[in-house]
Chain A
Amino acid sequence: MYPVSYHKPASVDDAVKALSSGEEAMVLAGGQTLIATMKQHLAAPSDLVDIRGIAELSGIKISGDTLSIGAAMTHAEVAASKDVQKHIPALACLAAGIGDPAVRHMGTLGGSVANNDPAADYPAALLALGATVVTNKREIAADDFFTGLFSTDLEDGEIITRVDFDKTEAAGYAKFAQPASLYALVGVFVAKRGGDVRVAITGAGDDGVFRSEALEAALAKDFSEAAAKGAGVSADNLMSDIHGDADYRAHLIRVMAARAVAGAA
């Protein structure tokens, strides 16, 4: 690892200030991605601004139909939250299935979303649930937030403070883990609000998380496992790597969509 200066601000304002202090300052949350990339010399920030412990970024609240999760909440905290389990059980389930226990106790919602790894789980949830990413500057709809592999709509120095999720009628998530990393080889999140069904796929797209029109149309007509399995999911624009070719991923998308529907609550 290259030498780096460490900051531990107490507020979002101080964090923003710290971020503009260094040549190439970066937000540090759980460090589960950032520290590993620094060790491999793939990232070389001059300064790390550790946002864990900032009160404004923590906590899980329900107000009306909206569930708000602080950006610094770990996957383990989200998984264990009674509010999350009640409001959107699929989200608690998703958080409980990220990586392994060590990763879940360090990695955070904000870090996962900001990193937008094409195989991460949360982006599928945000996209399917039509969540809103709240930053120190603005509110960004999930549909506009994820802009491709490892890229988001975030500007330099912008900090995610929380994510807001509106209640659904039913939502489900099914993940097929890549055997080595345990990230998603294919993850499918389905969310139903009346006749409106949103389906987001992670792990499979060659440009990151995406919504499947074919599945959304099929499930809007008939919210059933059979409809999911029978949907015409194409292998175009899907990723191929040593763990799965595009056609296998296309097949898994149907299978996982059916399982997500079966488990939706």
Chain B
Amino acid sequence: MTTGIGARVKRREDKRFITGKGKYTDDVRTENQAYAAFVRSPVAHANVKSIDKSAALEMDGVIDVLDGHQLTGDGIGNIICGWAVTSKDGSPMNMGAWSALATQKVRYVGDAVAVVIAETQQLARLAAEAVDVEYEELPVVAFADKALKDGAPQIHEEAPGNLIYDWEIGDAAKADAGLAEAVHVTEMEITNNRLSPNPMEPRSAVATYDEAEDHYTLYTTSQNPHVARLVLSAFYNVAPEHKLRVIAPDVGGGFGAKIYIYPEEITCLWASMKTNRSVKWTADRSEAFVTDAHGRDHISTAKMGFDADGRITGFKVDTIANLGAYMSLFSSSVPTYLYATLLSGQYDIQNLHANVRAVYTNTVPVDAYRGAGRPEACYLVERMMETAARELGMKPAELRAKNFIREFPHETPVIMTYDSGDFDANLAQAEEAADVNGFPARREEAAKRGKLRGLGYSCYIEACGIAPSAAVGGLGAGVGLWESAEVRVNPVGTIEILTGSHSHGQGHETTFAQIVAERFDQPIENISIVHGDTDKVQFGMGTYGSRSGAVGMSAIVKAMDKVEAKVRKIAAHQLEASEDDIVIEGGEVKVAGTDKALGWHEIGLAAYTAHNLPPDMEPGLKESAFYDPSNFTFPAGTYICEVEVDPDTGTTEIVQFTASDDFGTIINPMIVEGQVHGGIAQGVGQAMLEQVIYDEDGQLITGSYMDYTMPRAADLPNFSVHHASTVCPGNPLGMKGCGEAGAIGSPPAVINAITDAIGNNDLAMPATPQNVWRAYQAASAKQAAE
């Protein structure tokens, strides 16, 4: 079948996106529309002495100016962090209060203190400038290491010394012993640069309060509308769940930043009730830079010991994670359970220990961003491995292969149980596709042109579809991580799939339909995917952590199992055959080996007319399922990057980028390749271009595209993307997930290639021309001195 599993079906959603007919939150216009603009702190840390609204309130067209005292006075709750991480001494994490509108104190540039509601967006913005806030400035700390120093400015009373938690995983004594017996120890200081997520569509909200029904509707840019409704209801007390409808229509990219429920959505809902108007807010790009949760920002030191054979004897990591000024929804889990649990990489490491301290700083909150913790782990492990290979005089591939895990399931010392994989196969496939054997000749040829050519590896492993719910609950998660689906076969046989997953670029309308088309042998045109509306779809957990394939589609499979069982019963009854002899084939439901058959639509009709159903069978053909996986899935692979550096300027060109991924079963190779391309583009962005920079005063220096470098097409090579898959044993389709792998696996490959080219392992991301030039100068100076 051309539209089933494995087919390159063109994305069904693209017609509306490409022709400008997508319907995004900002496209929603309601009657009675008013607009919100936020009054934001221009300083990073201050007491709010007073807010003078009079000038703004006098402006024509200003409906109201609301502040945090009114908000908390109405019982709107503080913003929560949904994952409780416990420090190693057993104490709970030290979480400071976060009000959607600050009352006493502002803690980062961009922190909202008031909101203006006006007749037009322009008026609202002008009036926001007219709100006069008096700030009493306080000392600022914007950097994670400095925030932990004695005498650093104290950001939250609840977190003495700005320490949120001091957490560990693994066995420190064993790791120390392993390092002590090593014949070689590689030691590195590794930073993971801070990033701004930059989805193409900025965040937006349209909140409408219906006074007569005492009911709220929120259109918003969310990756998980049900979670948004739950949190808005249970924690922020906006409205009870049955009085709140959340709709996430077309959403133009999320990358994690649209998981969280931000001050703006909460405030718009509340303001709609206060003003009895529909309230709309859409961030512009400048606002996105100071309000969308940032990603990464780790400072680590790591030691890895090896025996004479190159086998890893011990690995110890100490990390400081900057969580910004407030704890965002999943911020606590990113540098712990999503990071340190992957520090074993693809390697059999018996002695492993990681310590993580999370700290407050006067910066934008930091949370999950494409990869979330796993890029930090992969970057650290893979920089260590490549550097160690160079120090040991071994080929990077050889050192890795020496330590590969080859038997599954494999339990790591950091609580993961890898279920499947063939790391040798990915390594071999990537090396062949990248023509690693031809590299020395290419390097020589480049040298003749005055260029430094380098080759770098990254053998990544990551964990997707975080689960099972009971296990993550035990680790502190405040939610379950299952997924739901409902399969509705209509009386005419067309099929609607209601999924708790949410598509914001992933192509679910295509891939989800493919598995249904295959299962029921129906034309894909007859299948539609419904998602993103809490009034239409049963509770679901949404899309992040590459979970929609492995978890979301598995729920659909489970519901299809139930539908199929009922279809068989109906067919067996009507065709007077045994259920076991019924097959679904060629769009019909048949008795195997006979010409007795019912059209698929006839089954639908039979189910809904209910004229001739088996005794005791309920009419209708609609089944739902909730699927809770038994384990994470573990996509893995090898990426090889080849670069050329211009030694005169430090400019780096990626001349070849090769990927070999193991994603398990692939539903639509074209969409998977697109995910890998996008992921690598983001990884290259992190490695070479992107960095959020704050100054000492907590002012954001990179607050626009004039200073924050987004990857452009010209910065990227043609990707050479390959698959060597092992089937995931944990879910019915055998899928592992592909949404984040590119962003996880690529940064160390790029940096390892550049450090190879310039002969200096000491290079930080982003490898801007200046950074590369300096590192090369340092290497040349050292060589000259020797």
- Find chain A residues with CB under 8 A from B707 CB: 180-181, 242-243
> Any chain B CB within 8 A of the CB of A179?
yes
> Any chain A CB within 8 A of the CB of B702?
yes
Known A242-B701, A252-B649; judge A179-B122 contact (CB<8 A). Answer: no
Whether B705 and A180, one on each chain, are in contact in the complex, defined by CB atoms closer than 8 angstroms, is: yes
- Find chain A residues with CB under 8 A from B708 CB: 180
Whether A181 and B770, one on each chain, are in contact in the complex, defined by CB atoms closer than 8 angstroms, is: no
Chain A to chain B: the 6 pairs with minimum beta-carbon distance, closest first? A180-B709, A181-B706, A179-B709, A255-B648, A248-B770, A180-B707
How distant is A97 from chain B, measured CB to nearest CB, in Å? 13
> Any chain B CB within 8 A of the CB of A244?
yes
> Any chain A CB within 8 A of the CB of B689?
yes
Interface string of B699-718 (1 = CB under 8 A from A): 00110011111100000000
- Find chain B residues with CB under 8 A from A2 CB: 126
Q: Tell me the dominant secondary structure on chain B's binding face.
A: loop
Known A243-B768, A245-B770, A255-B649; judge A41-B129 contact (CB<8 A). Answer: yes
> Any chain A CB within 8 A of the CB of B519?
no
Interface residues of A in 216-265 (CB under 8 A from B): 242-245, 248, 251-252, 255
A-B contacts, 5 listed (Cβ < 8 Å): A176-B649, A179-B709, A180-B709, A181-B705, A242-B707
> Any chain B CB within 8 A of the CB of A5?
no
Whether A242 and B693, one on each chain, are in contact in the complex, defined by CB atoms closer than 8 angstroms, is: yes
Interface string of B761-786 (1 = CB under 8 A from A): 00000001110011000000000000
Complex: chain B residue closest to A119, CB-CB: B706
Whether B705 and A179, one on each chain, are in contact in the complex, defined by CB atoms closer than 8 angstroms, is: no
Whether B701 and A180, one on each chain, are in contact in the complex, defined by CB atoms closer than 8 angstroms, is: no
> Any chain A CB within 8 A of the CB of B286?
yes
Whether A179 and B706, one on each chain, are in contact in the complex, defined by CB atoms closer than 8 angstroms, is: no
- Find chain A residues with CB under 8 A from B773 CB: 248, 251
A244 to B768, CA, bound (A): 9
Interface residues of B in 742-777 (CB under 8 A from A): 768-770, 773-774
B768 partner, pick from A179, A181, A183, A255, beta carbons under 8 A = A179
- Find chain B residues with CB under 8 A from A176 CB: 649, 769
- Choose among A41, A242, A251 the residue with the greatest number of B CB atoms under 10 Å from its CB: A242
Whether B770 and A180, one on each chain, are in contact in the complex, defined by CB atoms closer than 8 angstroms, is: no
A10 to B705, CA, bound (A): 35
Whether B693 and A40, one on each chain, are in contact in the complex, defined by CB atoms closer than 8 angstroms, is: no
A82 to B254, CA, bound (A): 47
A247 to B314, CA, bound (A): 42
Interface string of B483-520 (1 = CB under 8 A from A): 00000000000000000000000000000000000000
A179 to B774, CA, bound (A): 17
Known A40-B286, A179-B689, A252-B649; judge A243-B770 contact (CB<8 A). Answer: yes
How distant is A118 from chain B, measured CB to nearest CB, in Å? 13
> Any chain B CB within 8 A of the CB of A55?
no
Interface string of B707-744 (1 = CB under 8 A from A): 11110000000000000000000000000000000000
Whether A180 and B706, one on each chain, are in contact in the complex, defined by CB atoms closer than 8 angstroms, is: yes
Query: Besides A180-B706, A180-B710, A243-B768, 19 other CB < 8 A contacts?
Result: A1-B122, A2-B126, A40-B286, A176-B769, A179-B689, A179-B709, A179-B768, A180-B707, A180-B708, A183-B706, A242-B701, A242-B702, A242-B707, A243-B707, A245-B770, A248-B770, A248-B773, A255-B648, A255-B649
A115 to B358, CA, bound (A): 46
- Find chain A residues with CB under 8 A from B129 CB: 41
- Find chain A residues with CB under 8 A from B706 CB: 180-181, 183
Complex: chain B residue closest to A229, CB-CB: B648
- Choose among B286, B693, B770, B773 the residue with the greatest number of A CB atoms under 10 Å from its CB: B770
A180 to B129, CA, bound (A): 29
Interface residues of B in 225-283 (CB under 8 A from A): none
Interface residues of B in 123-155 (CB under 8 A from A): 126, 129
How distant is A125 from chain B, measured CB to nearest CB, in Å? 21
Whether A244 and B709, one on each chain, are in contact in the complex, defined by CB atoms closer than 8 angstroms, is: no
A245 to B776, CA, bound (A): 16
- Find chain B residues with CB under 8 A from A181 CB: 705-707
- Find chain B residues with CB under 8 A from A245 CB: 770
Interface residues of B in 668-706 (CB under 8 A from A): 689, 693, 701-702, 705-706
- Find chain B residues with CB under 8 A from A1 CB: 122
A243 to B768, CA, bound (A): 8
Whether B769 and A179, one on each chain, are in contact in the complex, defined by CB atoms closer than 8 angstroms, is: yes
- Find chain A residues with CB under 8 A from B769 CB: 176, 179
How distant is A5 from chain B, measured CB to nearest CB, in Å? 16
- Choose among B122, B705, B706 the residue with the greatest number of A CB atoms under 10 Å from its CB: B706
How distant is A149 from chain B, measured CB to nearest CB, in Å? 15
A87 to B126, CA, bound (A): 49
Interface string of A25-48 (1 = CB under 8 A from B): 000000000000000110000000
